[in-house]
Amino acid sequence: MKTDTIAAIATAVSNAGISIIRISGDEAFSIIDKIYKSKKGTKKLSDCNSHTIHYGYIVDNDTVIDEVLVLLMKNPHTYTKEDVVEIDCHGGIVVTKKILETVLKNGARLADPGEFTKRAFLNGRIDLSQAEAVSDIINAKSDYALKNSLNQLRGNILDKIKDIRQSIIDDIAFIEAALDDPEHITLDNFSDELDKHIDVNIKELDKLLKSSDNGRLLKEGIKTVILGKPNAGKSSLLNVLVGTDRAIVTDIAGTTRDTLEETIQIGGICLNIIDTAGIRTTEDTVEKIGVEKAMKSAEDADLVIYVVDASTKLDENDRIIMDFIKNKKAVILLNKSDLSIVIDSKEMETLTGKDVIQISAKENIGIDKLEKWITDMYFQGKIDLNNEIYITNVRHKEAIMESKNSLSLVKQSIKDGMPEDFFSIDMMNAYKVLGKILGEAVDEDLVNTIFCKFCMGK
């Protein structure tokens, strides 16, 4: 099928060492022939071998625009499975846009956001889960998020979903064959065997669902809120974690009146960390708003870091915070451990039921223990990205949940002694919804929505 030829700048539009203009489609080679001139002026790139690089000039009529390297890739062994040409030029904004304008003037159109990857999907180069992984790689916020996205791009979700779907379709095929040819194929005792197959598949789907919480944290980061009384050292902790004086630190209680947000990495994990106003009873209208905002931010946090000034005794404000974190994932930091400590770690653990770490934000003591605690708490001490699959996409999670529900209905039908043809209905639904993860039978609107979130040159 003939398609129009698209082009876009594939690198950031800024002054840099090089820029890349990507062209994909049936006319890619005829376009480059029109605008490329070799040093000797004789070479026609469409006659050259695939996957070769050529040195020359991009010209607009007889005017030389830039000295370039041109990479030729002929279908089907390309990212889009179409003819692809990439022009590596000098990285100035003006020259890059001028070359793109010349490409468009000679027969290409400007690519839509994500259209190169969309063509890779539509042409069977990658499945939809791999296409989404491309976007996740670009937007990765941490080392672990990047590695997980790379694993998805390599097809680890594809392989697992294919295995489950193959098991389901094999059982459906057996049932249908037995119903069509009962004289030669019997369904006697097949219900028991099918029930075991479904148990195995539900177990695999459960594993994927259980990974989704950690997967979300890998992709989006851990929403972390720092709580504590005024002058407990919350802002000092934020500055240590960020590695710069991001928050104002003074001896005056109530310096922080509003939330302050930063994204940091601890142990390769992304934390979206929020410093908040000190929690205390106050009549100051502005400070009161800050306290309310702090508690609201902590309501839906993945993690609360409760900072306590270990050099002063606990009071009613501490009791309020301890009661608040009772049912939340939280860690208590006894700060100012370089001073004379009046709060015992064991006592705090008994009072709160939470882990307690002694630190000194001022002296940068104990931060390594906090890093280890976070890794241990969320990923049992390690994130095994060699064998584990982490579901990071809400669309994937919803499809897995629907598939599991359909298989659970089959188990109920078996238990109720229903006829075998009833099994096929729910099993086929389980098979189909898993196929949506890979891009089978998905609406065009969904595909367009997914790819419109990509950057222009991808």
Mention the CATH class of domain 131-216+393-451.
Answer: mainly alpha
Domain with CATH 3.30.1360.120 in the chain: 6-111
What is the structure's pLDDT at 258?
Answer: 47
Residue with tokens 């639904």: 429
CATH topology of domain 6-111: Gyrase A; domain 2 (3.30.1360)
What is the structure's pLDDT at 149?
Answer: 59
pLDDT digits (tens, 9 = 90+) for 98-138: 999 999 999 999 998 889 988 988 888 888 878 777 766 66
What is the structure's pLDDT at 129?
Answer: 79
Question: Are 152 and 130 in contact, with CB atoms under 8 Å apart?
Answer: yes
Question: Are 226 and 332 in contact, with CB atoms under 8 Å apart?
Answer: no
- Residues whose CB falls within 8 Å of the CB of residue 38, separated by 6 or more in sequence, listed in order: 54, 55, 56, 57
Which residue type does 214 have?
Answer: N
361 secondary structure, DSSP code: T
What is the structure's pLDDT at 383?
Answer: 43
By CB atoms closer than 10 A (0-12, 13-18, 19+), residue 36 is buried
What is the structure's pLDDT at 203?
Answer: 94
pTM of the predicted model as reported, rounded to 2 decimal places: 0.59
Domain with CATH 1.20.120.430 in the chain: 131-216+393-451
Question: Are 164 and 204 in contact, with CB atoms under 8 Å apart?
Answer: yes
- Residues whose CB falls within 8 Å of the CB of residue 335, separated by 6 or more in sequence, listed in order: 228, 232, 233, 236, 237, 307, 308, 309, 310, 359, 360, 361
What is the structure's pLDDT at 89?
Answer: 94
- Residues whose CB falls within 8 Å of the CB of residue 33, separated by 6 or more in sequence, listed in order: 44, 45, 46
- Chain centroid to CA 319: 38
Pair of tokens at residue 392: 């990071």
Residue 33's SS3 state is helix
Question: Are 333 and 237 in contact, with CB atoms under 8 Å apart?
Answer: yes
The dihedral built from the CA positions of residue 29, 31, 34 and 40, taken in this order, carries a sign that is negative
> Of 202, 199, 178, 180, whose CA–CA distance to 190 is shortest?
178
Backbone angles phi, psi at 378, to 5 degrees: -90, -25
Cα–Cα distance for residue pair 268/179, rounded to 1 Å: 55
List the CATH code of the domain at 221-379: 3.40.50.300
Cα–Cα distance for residue pair 104/122, rounded to 1 Å: 23
Weakly modelled stretches of the chain, pLDDT under 70: 1-2, 41-42, 135-155, 213-220, 243-259, 267-268, 277-292, 294, 378-389, 392, 441-443, 446, 450, 453-458
Domain with CATH 3.40.50.300 in the chain: 221-379
Pair of tokens at residue 312: 């002063």
What is the structure's pLDDT at 8?
Answer: 94
What is the structure's pLDDT at 54?
Answer: 95
What is the structure's pLDDT at 253?
Answer: 42
What is the structure's pLDDT at 82?
Answer: 95
What is the structure's pLDDT at 386?
Answer: 44
pLDDT digits (tens, 9 = 90+) for 424-453: 999 999 999 998 888 876 667 767 776 776
What is the structure's pLDDT at 108?
Answer: 95
Strand order in the sheet with 63-73: 36-38, 52-60, 63-73, 84-91, 16-24, 6-9, 109-110
